Chains A and B, each alone.
Chain A
Amino acid sequence: MTASAIRLTARGIGHAYRDLVVLEGIDLDAAPGEVTVLVGPSGCGKSTLLGILGGLLAPTQGEVRLDGELAPDCLNSVTTVFQDASLLPWRSVAKNVSLVLEDSPLPRAERAARVAEVLAQTGLADFAGAWPRQLSGGMRQRLGIARALAVRPAVLLMDEPLSALDAQSRALLLDDFAALIAGAGVTCVYVTHHLAEAVRLGHTIVVLSRRPGRIRAVLRIDRPIEGRHAEEPALVAMQARLWALIRDDAARAEREIADV
């Protein structure tokens, strides 16, 4: 199986909700097969930017482009994984996955095989027939990932997929995500405000300023993400640098929210 190799480029992205300017002059390059992490203070426009990258929100300025070769088995070039997993409560676990394959030209057997494969990859094989309400928070997020992997996306956009979870599930799931993302060879843009997540997963870490969000800094970590540990001295040092960049903005953003 050859993975897609798609580069996602955003040029001069700006966005405003009515008079509220949320993003200004964002240029972003997400390299094929790499993870680009977006961090920044609360309300700086990370979700807005991700929505724009995924074609779910029309920017007031700028353009997002995709370039490269799509693998033949890719059914949906840009795919978003949401914070709350957005599962359909009236469909079983397996049916929640097959939902995104039912409109594809894939033959039935191939569809069933893909559903089984991604459920096995995410450790949900035993829950294929369960209702979403019977899953724990971590399992719901896994299902969200499984569904996204089923379409063999070229670009995977993830908006704080782990933020609803407790610290333990988050740490475990983070390792799984790293393996799945690396294995699928997708171009990934990952929003988080956990800096440990950022250094664990990111090849590139983009730091946004408080609203209106602009790019404050871009940091690189050139090591492969498989085998990284958030506690490694190099990554801990990177976390400290990130925090130094964000702290003042974050504190000011909090105060602004408190003033409203």
Chain B
Amino acid sequence: MSRLDGPVAFRARGFAARDIPAASVATLVGLVLLWQAAASLGWMSTTFLSDPAAIGRGLWQLARSGELWANLSVSLQRLAIGWTVGTMAGLAVGLAIGLFTVARSPGMAVVAALFPIPKIALVPLFIIWFGIGEGSKLVTLGFGVFFPTIINTVAGIDGVPRALIRMGQAFNLPWRSIVLKIVLPGALPSILAGFRITTSTAIILLVAAEMIGAEKGIGAFVLQAGNLYDIDNLLAGLVVLSLLGLAVSWGLGRLERALLAWR
């Protein structure tokens, strides 16, 4: 037997990871400074990996010459159109699958069959069908966004508690109101979570499609820089992509906070 003699020790420590926004910024700045120091102090060769200052100078020149904007604007336009069209179509199909028995099994069968194909493998086919120009890129992007959007929309709708729909029916709300005021808001968290996946998918597909056949766009720019062994510009292109991803993710965070304030 053992004797107890003393206060109760606190045991509920840990398992409560918190966000410290300042730490995120400090980490990124610190890493860049470390990288710069390594280059400046000669710890690493800048032949294959330029230092941040050189990349910054490259970016600045690209920005001043207008070359950056010429490529970025084309990419942004493709991204906006492809993502929006793919998302709209995905929401519409997802809604139909989520709400109607006639659409459900056939729809899910098609999704299950087409979703696993890496969308990038479809680019050659799309180039044959839609030409080397804008068409094939937009279709690739839209297609890549379409399927995950369907899956998240259906999952969101299936996750809406039956009791809430019953409640709407108990008050004799019209079908349209039940969909707009109960089903869609209930599915929104899942749909917005899907946006995080589809925006990053869209950026990946955009760059890949631009590398396969495009004259303008960030993907094409990075590929050309690589072909010319222009490491500064190549890395400048990658930095732009990183910033683009950060901006999109920040925007989605704001959107979630605005639309899901009730949680």
Contacts and interface: CB of A to CB of B under 8 A. Distances in A.
Interface of A: 54, 56, 76, 79-80, 82, 84, 86, 88-91, 99-100, 102-103, 131, 133, 147, 151
A89 B188 CA distance: 12
B170 A89 contact: no
A89 B181 CA distance: 11
Contacts of B164: 86, 88
A82 B262 contact: no
B174 interface: yes
A88 B260 CA distance: 13
A86 B188 CA distance: 18
User: Which 9 residue pairs spanning A and B have beta carbons closest together?
Assistant: A86-B167, A80-B170, A90-B262, A100-B171, A90-B185, A86-B163, A76-B172, A131-B262, A103-B177
B170 A79 contact: yes
Nearest to B168: A99
9 contacts: A56-B169, A82-B163, A86-B167, A90-B186, A90-B188, A90-B260, A90-B262, A102-B177, A103-B177
B170 A99 contact: no
B263 interface: yes
Contact of B171 (A84, A89, A90, A151): A151
B76 interface: no
B170 A54 contact: yes
A186 B260 CA distance: 37
Interface residues of B, number: 20
Nearest to B162: A86
B259 to A, nearest CB: 9
Interface centre among A54, A90, A103, A133 (most CB of B within 10 A): A90
B173 interface: yes
Contacts of A80: 167, 170
Contacts of A133: 262-263
B85 interface: no
Interface string B226-263: 00000000000000000000000000000000001011
A88 B166 CA distance: 12
Contacts of B177: 102-103
A55 to B, nearest CB: 8
A164 B185 CA distance: 26
B182 interface: yes
A131 B174 CA distance: 24
Contact of A79 (B171, B174, B188): B171
A19 B188 CA distance: 38
Nearest to A102: B177
A103 B173 contact: yes
A226 B188 CA distance: 45
A103 B262 contact: no
A89 B262 contact: yes
Interface string B181-217: 1100110100000000000000000000000000000
